[in-house]
Structure 1
Amino acid sequence: MRWNLAAFPRKNVSVFALAVAIFSFQAKMALASVSITGAGSSFAAPVYQSWSVPVSQQLGIGVNYQSVGSSAGQDQVKAHTVDFGASDKPMSGEKLDKSRLYQFPTVMSGVVVVVNLPGVPEGTLHLDGLTLAKLYEGTITEWNDPQIQALNPGVALPDDEVVAIHRADGSGTSYVFTSYLTHVSLEWKGRIGAGTLVEWQGGAGGRGNDGVAALVKQTPGSIGYVEYAYAAQNHLNIAQLKNHDGVFVSPSLEGFSMASAAAQWRADAHYTVDLLDCPGAKSWPIVSATYALVPVENVTHPEGKGVHDFFAWGFSHGEEINRKLGYVGLPPAVQGDIMAHWPSASSLSASETQ
């Protein structure tokens, strides 16, 4: 899918220090071009597919990224059918060691709640975490339920039946969304829990973020969850959510960044952090990083070097694209740490002798 950057709202934000690149990065155009393949997270797809255009033009690296969902992305990179995988659910250290994968975050964004409620103005519906959980548990079945009405005084809510749209495939976006619900609802945590696939209580399923967005768009009375870029691209009605500080907020780049302000990104923890329901008056409550997975034994291959250069370009030159799509990059120090810990020929030799 070609992402139309002009379709996204322009932000009055300064793109951080593209002129002062974190890495000294030069394309070796005298070398033969290389093609790399990636697969996984639909959350990450808009960024990787948009980066691929200038990377091909400037570096001679062809990038084919398939948006197949986080679970499939993990499976494909472990099977060595792609050069890198992508997942919004980070893998455990034990699984990474067993599969000999290097895991690192690339960008952050928000999972947003979208609705199709004719007559309710865009961006005005208020929901909190408990009510959202009840909508997906099936204990709130109509939109004019008193619990929703109490959050929206003066709003004429329809008496339509609630149709809860969810992912039908193994999904990192589902993992992020259900993890948030376990943060805010003990009932959800005890009955359903968090996962890339859970036992949904009715509703309808779509494959990929784009599939959920399409179902919400065509189904009056529906509610769904998608990565922010898909909501913006499809002009969906995004609900305001009550955040950790008790403030109803709309998603924003500032809100995504605020959620990660206190995050401790550590290589020895495989850069896994919890960005859900974080403090801050403008903090968006459902924020996640998306992670890349790189086979360690491929680092000396042309494709492995191509993967390195693709992400190095994204870190040093991709932020303008990120922000136009509705993502934010990692802090420069974290990007530098990721590249400093990138597997090398020497680290590969050392691991083989252990």
Structure 2
Amino acid sequence: MVYSGQYNFGADDLAITIPESNTTHLVALPALAGGLVIAYNLNAAKTVVKFSRKALPRIFDGTITHWNHPYLVADNPFLATVTAAITIVKRSKTTGSTVNLIKILAMMDKTEGYAGVSPFSVPGYYFSMNNSVAAATTSAAGVIIGSIPWTLTYLNQYEATQQCLAAGFNCIGGMVQHVDGTFLNCTTQSLSIAVANVDMKKLDSLNIYNSTLSALDVSAPGAYPLTAICNWAINPDSISPSYVDTVWTLRFMWYFFKHPEFSEQLGYVSVGNSEIATKTLTFLKGIKFNGQQLYGNSICDPLINGSYTNPCVHGYCAG
């Protein structure tokens, strides 16, 4: 929709791609961060399950099929007597949640020294295990998890909160093991740590064909292991045929980055105070309309640090 010119910008937690035949110049601009929560139903029991980096990939490749598997019992002794089979509720192959989970599971296999080639690193991999069922929508996955015992799925933190708090539902979100061995919940704090510690030297966050920023497994202590980034996509050469629309689109994006409360309303984390945002805002400053520089032409254009060259005093510019 963006490369066709129908919209000024778009957003997705997938790596954004365009047809090879299309010559439109698109860039990906990281906008906010969220986390994938492993949600499950232990027959109405509200006990928190710890999912280790050794166990979680094996659940999603079909190796672990029962709740009392030794890998799970090692960190959750109470599961030793739970003989029920695990039913995995999966989303479609192309959803952002599925794609990003597969990427992070491949990262976990790498750090854990998985013998051989991780199944999650094989192009086109999808959850095809016999103990899985497909849910057409996020809401459907949430309903299944909330109402059917012994099921397990993956939801973003907002979806998980809504479904697990819904009246009559019995799902709960688990803890996931960090590379340092600790177990973490998906919180705004653990997501913020992940965003703040992205290795910018290894990252090209403004390359539309580069998916390195969509899924993160950051080594910094306290960083949530299943963090995902949602990117905006714009065509900087032609955001809109209208000068006014172009200017206000850029102002909105800038304002969004500098006001994290918009992201936080739904439990997401803004990248606004990170190196990622500095790189993105610097890029926005260079966008032109028909060859005309846009940033800096208005006395109301803010600096990257949030201040103004000409601050307002009682409604009038002081400059």
* TM-score above 0.5, yes or no: yes
Aligned to 1:201: 129
Q: Is 1:107 the equivalent of 2:32?
A: yes
**Whole-angstrom CA distance in 2 between matches of 1:198 and 1:232:** 26
Matched pairs, number: 272
Aligned counterpart for 1:259 among listed residues 194, 202, 220: 194
Question: Cα offset for 1:129?
Answer: 2.3
- When residues 207 and 347 of structure 1 are mapped into structure 2, their CA distance, relative to the original with a 3 A threshold, is farther
Aligned to 1:136: 60
**Whole-angstrom CA distance in 2 between matches of 1:292 and 1:167:** 23
The answer on whether the counterparts of 1:117 and 1:158 sit within 8 Å (CA) in structure 2 is no
The answer on whether the counterparts of 1:182 and 1:194 sit within 8 Å (CA) in structure 2 is no
Question: Cα offset for 1:199?
Answer: 4.9
Question: Cα offset for 1:287?
Answer: 0.7
Q: Is 1:215 the equivalent of 2:155?
A: no
Aligned to 2:119: 191
Alpha-carbon RMSD across the aligned residues, in angstroms, is 3.2
Secondary structure of 2:28's match?
strand
Unaligned runs of 5+ in 2: 165-170, 294-319
- Partner deviation per Cα, 1:141-177 (whole Å, 9 max, x = no partner): 1112222112202456532221111112511221210
The answer on whether the counterparts of 1:300 and 1:344 sit within 8 Å (CA) in structure 2 is no
- Partner deviation per Cα, 1:298-331 (whole Å, 9 max, x = no partner): 34435544533432332233x2242242211114
- When residues 174 and 95 of structure 1 are mapped into structure 2, their CA distance, relative to the original with a 3 A threshold, is farther
Aligned counterpart for 2:223 among listed residues 263, 283, 288: 283
The answer on whether the counterparts of 2:214 and 2:230 sit within 8 Å (CA) in structure 1 is no
Letter of the 1:207 partner, please give it. A
**Whole-angstrom CA distance in 2 between matches of 1:152 and 1:234:** 24
**Whole-angstrom CA distance in 2 between matches of 1:337 and 1:97:** 26
**Whole-angstrom CA distance in 2 between matches of 1:321 and 1:337:** 20
Q: Is 1:338 the equivalent of 2:280?
A: yes
Unaligned runs of 5+ in 1: 1-75, 350-354
Structure that is richer in helix per residue: 1
Aligned counterpart for 2:85 among listed residues 145, 158, 161: 161
Aligned to 2:51: 127
Give the stretch that moved more between structures: 251-260 or 188-197: 188-197
- When residues 200 and 331 of structure 1 are mapped into structure 2, their CA distance, relative to the original with a 3 A threshold, is same
Aligned counterpart for 1:323 among listed residues 256, 264, 271: 264
Secondary structure of 1:259's match?
helix
Aligned counterpart for 2:161 among listed residues 206, 224, 232: 232
Question: Cα offset for 1:183?
Answer: 1.0
Question: Cα offset for 1:195?
Answer: 6.9
> After superposition, where does 1:23-42 map in structure 2 within 5 Å?
none
Letter of the 2:223 partner, please give it. S
Letter of the 2:186 partner, please give it. P
TM-score normalized by structure 2? 0.73
Aligned to 1:86: 11
**Whole-angstrom CA distance in 2 between matches of 1:273 and 1:290:** 9
Secondary structure of 2:82's match?
coil
Q: What is the percent sequence identity of the aligned residues?
A: 18
Question: Cα offset for 1:246?
Answer: 0.2
Larger gyration radius, structure 1 or structure 2: 2
TM-score normalized by structure 1? 0.66
Secondary structure of 1:111's match?
strand
